[in-house]
Amino acid sequence: MRLLHLTLPVSDVATVAAYFHDVLQQRVVGNHVHIGWSTIELQAAGDHPVGGVHLAFNVPDNRFGEAMAWLRERTPLQRNPEGLDYFALESSWQSQSVYFTGPDGLILELIGRRRLPASAREGVFHGSELTCLSEVGLPSHDVDAVREQSSQRFGLQPISPPSPQFAPMGDDEGLLIIVAADRRWFPEQKDLPSAQGVQLQVGDVSGSGELRDAALGWRVWAA
């Protein structure tokens, strides 16, 4: 699955656009952030609350060490309660991650996935090496129901065994991270998840239609 277009409500469009351009070295045109095949459209949140939104970006796994060094020079990394700031997952994930805080309390992640192609780039890392938006967090009061709906409508399967608290639906290129509304985000375990006003268009799925949570204010759709 590919995450093609994300509409992201923010408190100040210019500030968030500058962050993506200046800190993460992404191409920004107006209120649109372009990351590989993904576009993030920044919209003024108005009266809607912001904060608690989780986004992850793929980087080539063989460039992850350079990406982590690049990121450390730009922003503090989030740590878990034990003080760790680097997280490697084996089994079904086959990944390595670092987390950091963006504007409006965004919980951001760089993730390298071993099953995806390696990069031929060498030397100092640059933000242009981010390949795509690969995860969006979607809170729910019924994770199992949303998981089943994502499977029925889009043909998605969990990348790792799901639970009533957490269901990562999709594949290495794109995941809907469906989480219980009362489950605080890893690794700091401080922020509750939110996706109020978030709209996500996905591609490379086997069905069309939409998935939405009216109570928590988010929508996913495929043409």
pLDDT tens for each residue of the chain, 223 residues long: 999 999 999 999 999 999 999 999 999 999 999 999 999 999 999 988 899 999 999 999 999 999 999 999 999 999 999 999 999 999 999 999 999 999 999 999 999 999 999 999 999 999 999 999 999 999 999 999 999 999 999 999 999 999 999 999 999 999 999 999 999 999 999 999 999 999 999 999 999 999 999 999 999 999 8
- Kindly state the tokens that stand for 71: 């990121």
Closest alpha carbon to 170 in 214, 217, 132, 134: 134
Q: What is the pLDDT of residue 216?
A: 97
Percent of the chain with pLDDT over 90: 98
- Residue 208: count other Cβ atoms within 10 Å of its Cβ: 10
pTM for this prediction: 0.97
Q: What's the pLDDT score for residue 189?
A: 97
pLDDT at 47: 86
Q: Domains of the chain: which residue ranges?
A: 2-129+143-222
Give start and end residues of each alpha helix (H) in 54-169: 64-72, 143-154
Q: Which token pair is 110? A: 């760089």
Question: What is the fold of 2-129+143-222?
Answer: 2,3-Dihydroxybiphenyl 1,2-Dioxygenase; domain 1 (3.10.180)
pLDDT of residue 103: 98
> How far is Cα 193 from Cα 123, in angstroms, rounded to an integer?
36
